[in-house]
C-alpha cells in the first residue's frame, strides 16, 4: 500500500525530482540532486514520512525517516 507521505528523489533526464510514493509525476525538478534532496527532506518532514534517495542507477542509496520510523534503532543498554 502506497504511503503518499513518503518522498522519493528520482532522476528525470539530466535533472532530479521529488516524487510522492504512488504518484506518477514528479512534484518539482531541480538541476542538482542536492537541491532535490533538500526539497524532498522538507516534504517528508511535513508529512512525517520517509525520504528515499535513488542513485543514478535507480537503486535506493539512502533513506531517512521523519515521524513514525518503521525500523527504529534498538537501544544498546
Model confidence over 23-44: pLDDT tens digits? 999 999 999 999 999 999 999 9
60-65 sheet: strands from edge to edge: 28-30, 15-20, 7-12, 50-54, 60-65
> What's the DSSP call for residue 62?
E
Which ranges constitute the DSSP H helices of 1-77? Answer: 33-47
Q: Is the pTM of this model over 0.95?
A: no
> Which of the four pLDDT bands, split at 50, 70 and 90, describes residue 76?
low
Amino acid at each position: 500500500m502506497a504511503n503518499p507521505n513518503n518522498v522519493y528523489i528520482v532522476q528525470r533526464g539530466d535533472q532530479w525530482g521529488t516524487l510522492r510514493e504512488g504518484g506518477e509525476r514528479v512534484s518539482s525538478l531541480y538541476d542538482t540532486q542536492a537541491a532535490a534532496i533538500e526539497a524532498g527532506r522538507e516534504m517528508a518532514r511535513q508529512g512525517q514520512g520517509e525520504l528515499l534517495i535513488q542513485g543514478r542507477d535507480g537503486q535506493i542509496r539512502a533513506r531517512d525517516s521523519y515521524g513514525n520510523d518503521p525500523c527504529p534503532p534498538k537501544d544498546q543498554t
